Amino acid sequence: MLDHNIEDEKYKVEVTVPVIGKSAGVLSFNDLKTGGYIKQRQKDKFTVRCMVPGGRLPIKKLKKIVEVAEKYGADYVHLSIRQSLEIPYVDYHNFDKVVAELSEVDQKVASCGPRVRVPTACSGCEYNPNGLSDTQGLTKVVNDKFFGAECNHKFKTSFSGCPIDCARTSEMDLAFQGAVFPEWEEEKCTGCRICASACQEDAIHDHPETGEPIFFPDKCLYCADCIRACPTEAWVSGKTGHIVRIGGKHGRHPFKGSVVAKFVSDEDVPVIIEKTVEWYNKHGVGKGRIRIGTLLREEGMMQSYMEHMKDVFKDKAVKDPKPPLEINIQE
């Protein structure tokens, strides 16, 4: 049996818990999947997807999930690629008990389908030595505000704390990566040449005589290695914020997202998501299940998007950004 057959609309079961966008009752497997209950190959068995925004799971919730899985699931749980924790082999007759027990610790079931998905994120600046942004804090804000918001198709967001981009912001529909612009204070510099060696992007050369840095901002990725390595704090943080990427996706025909703004603030982030979803829903009308990256690749759409966003991006907008790029992974 193929997976898409068992997700077919025509199969329906009666459930006693409300699923996102639907109240309890006779629901199709598709409705259930949208609500985070995914039909398995095995009769009556579903995988219940627990939301774990940014991959951070309080121990209290983890313990409860273990308890629920032991009672109603199999002898394992599964960590999804997008940081959710899935409980397989739950009989749908038990959905109400599973939901009730999970809600004792405020553990929610994640969504699927054409909506804003639970954001993924790296650990960010709290203890990660490379982290430049509060990815976890933003994940929470964004998940609380946008979880389940409807779109034309799935809408994935993520937060990376630095240009190493562990949360793959270039493969998301809309995502944010921490960045710091380094500024040099001449009077503190001893000309030790450490920064020129520390920079991996050739954005700093050492002056042959003085050893002082010569900075090439066009090559800079805003990683802050120079700031961290400088023994005398001669490199300091200038503007800080997020690089914004849009229109990426994975799948059979992945797209690489495009950078549309640089150094937007934490406060800008929810506004950017809201305005972007607004543009997406408006321009995707009548186009079926279309990802934002596909839409942005249509003639004139990138310009339309940038125009729509200009009051939010302001001077942080990138000039004439390219549409998302299709990547061939089949050869």
Partner 1 sequence: MSDIKVDAVLDITNEVCPMTFVKTKLKLETLETGQHLEVILNDGEPLRNVPRSLKEEGHRIVGTKKDGTKFHLIVEKGM
Query: Least distance to ligand SF4 from the beta carbon of 136, Å?
Result: 10
Region binding ligand SF4 by CB under 6 A among candidate stretches 57-65, 75-83, 99-107, 156-164: 156-164
* Contact yes or no for 51/85 (Cβ under 8 A): no
User: What track of x and - describes contact with ligand SF4 for positions 179 through 198 (by CB under 6 A)?
Assistant: ---x-x----xxxxxxx--x
Binding-site member from 6, 74, 221, 325 for ligand SF4 (CB under 6 A)? 221
| Residue 241 vs 323, nearer CB to ligand SF4 | 241
Q: Is residue 141 near ligand SF4 by the rule CB under 6 A?
A: no
Q: Is residue 230 near ligand SF4 by the rule CB under 6 A?
A: yes
Burial class (CB in 10 A: 0-12, 13-18, 19+), 76: exposed
Binding-site member from 204, 290, 292, 295 for ligand SF4 (CB under 6 A)? 204
Residue 323 tokens, joined: 């549409």
Q: Is residue 85 near ligand SF4 by the rule CB under 6 A?
A: no
Query: Least distance to partner 1 from the beta carbon of 55, Å?
Result: 23
Query: Least distance to ligand SF4 from the beta carbon of 141, Å?
Result: 18
| Residues engaged in binding ligand SF4 (CB under 6 A) | 122-124, 128, 130-131, 160-162, 164-166, 182, 184, 189-195, 198-199, 201, 203-204, 211-213, 220-226, 230, 232, 234-235
